[in-house]
Structure 1
Amino acid sequence: MQSVGQKDTGPELAVRRALHRLGYRFRLHAKKLPGRPDIVFPSRHKVVFIHGCFWHGHNCSKGKLPKSRNEYWIPKIEANKARDERTINALREAGWESLVVWQCQVADLDSAVASIRHFLGPPGTAPEAAEKFAE
């Protein structure tokens, strides 16, 4: 399990490639923001998290807990879910909007990208919020 990466996962790369092809420009893993979001749109004050279903406790077939060592996995996954909630709340308080895209949603990439497009609006220029991010 220690070899599982936190950045540049398959679902994250697929989403990033699709968004870039559509004309969106973004930053990755912004250190200044709570939770270091996977994809950051500074000018829009919006972030996208690409969550692995297992690690973040999604209620789908990929998010099922293992049958062994429940005394370890249940608290771990619950702590991850609590951390995710704290992160999204901290971002909201700082004036950022968040969208979570699940690993299982990326299996239908067109649908996942459509929901992100709806969240972001059309590609192109956005308000001057990028200046606040640079500070």
Structure 2
Amino acid sequence: MHRLTIHHRVNRGMGGAREPFINQAHNLLLVCTTCNGWFEDHPRESYEAGWKVRRPQLPEDVEVGYFDGRVYRLSPDGARTTVVEAGRRPQRPDDVEVRSFDGSAFRLTADGVRTPLAEVTE
């Protein structure tokens, strides 16, 4: 079982942030701690997918890819609007190999499929 955490798309920064949107729904993603660490370790891919947002951009202006294969636009009230349907989105970065906090390793695809590395065949 993976622990979940709240990921801020626009970073809060070292002493907090003064932007009113920083803790609003469109700036937050509920992700496992493994994915949250991956976002921080792979900023280029995370910005491309909308998992991270650079200032001065606003989170409601940056589309975000979900592991269900769709791309959404998030709003401050927590609603999400589908921008690209599953299977029709632009090419994403390659599958990601992840080592979980419990020591298990798996491949995470853009479709959200987790395959233990022992089962992965090239």
TM bracket, shorter-chain basis:
under 0.3
- Of Structure 1 and Structure 2, which has the larger fraction of its residues in strand? 2
Higher Rg: 1
**TM-score, length basis structure 1:** 0.24
**TM-score, length basis structure 2:** 0.26
- Of Structure 1 and Structure 2, which has the larger fraction of its residues in helix? 1
